[in-house]
Amino acid sequence: MRMIVTGGGTGGHIYPAVSIAEAFKKKNKNTKLLYVGRKQGLESELVPKLGIEFRPISIEYKKRGLAGLIKHVGSLISSIFEARRIIKDYKPDIIVGTGAMSPVLLCLLVRSWALKQLSMKPMPFLDVPIKC
């Protein structure tokens, strides 16, 4: 089984994602893991240290002002293409997301490809789960 795990920003998203991935790997030794997260995020430091392959996407959080908004929108657009390329190249059987922007991007892309399985964490700021 090929699994993409995604989620970042804080340890509250990263460690649950890693725990889920490790649980899948214990059940199925042939599980191949790929973690997708922000290039500048905490996950880019933590995940490789845990021995899990990591691929970054370049989404940035919105900064104040017009310049910040323009930069955020530009990074969002480029991240959609990056996430799409990662999914297309890796061909996952399942994607597990635990919050933040990276999972939302992957979730939206996966929906159009109708992958077999997807698990997403409820997003507290939306007060509803993301259904893909």
Query: In angstroms, rounded to a whole number, what is the distance separating the alpha carbons of residues 62 and 67?
Result: 10
Which tokens go with 9?
A: 């920003």
- Provide the b/e sequence for 59-68 (b: ≥16 CB within 10 Å): bbeeeeeeee
pLDDT for res 107: 60
- Ordered DSSP codes for 38-73: ETTSTHHHHHHHTT-EEEEE---PPPSHHHHHHHHH
- Torsion sign, CA atoms 86, 87, 89, 90: positive
- Ordered DSSP codes for 92-118: -SEEEE-SSHHHHHHHHHHHHHT-SEE
Q: Which domains does the chain have, with CATH numbers?
A: 2-120 (3.40.50.2000)
Is residue 104's pLDDT more than 60? Answer: no
| Cα 128 from chain centroid (whole Å) | 18
pLDDT for res 32: 93
Query: In angstroms, rounded to a whole number, what is the distance separating the alpha carbons of residues 59 and 62?
Result: 9
Nearest to 105 by CA among 131, 83, 127, 73: 83
Q: Which residues pair with 120 in a beta bridge?
A: 97
Is residue 53's pLDDT more than 90? Answer: yes
At 33, the pLDDT band (50, 70, 90 cuts) reads: very high
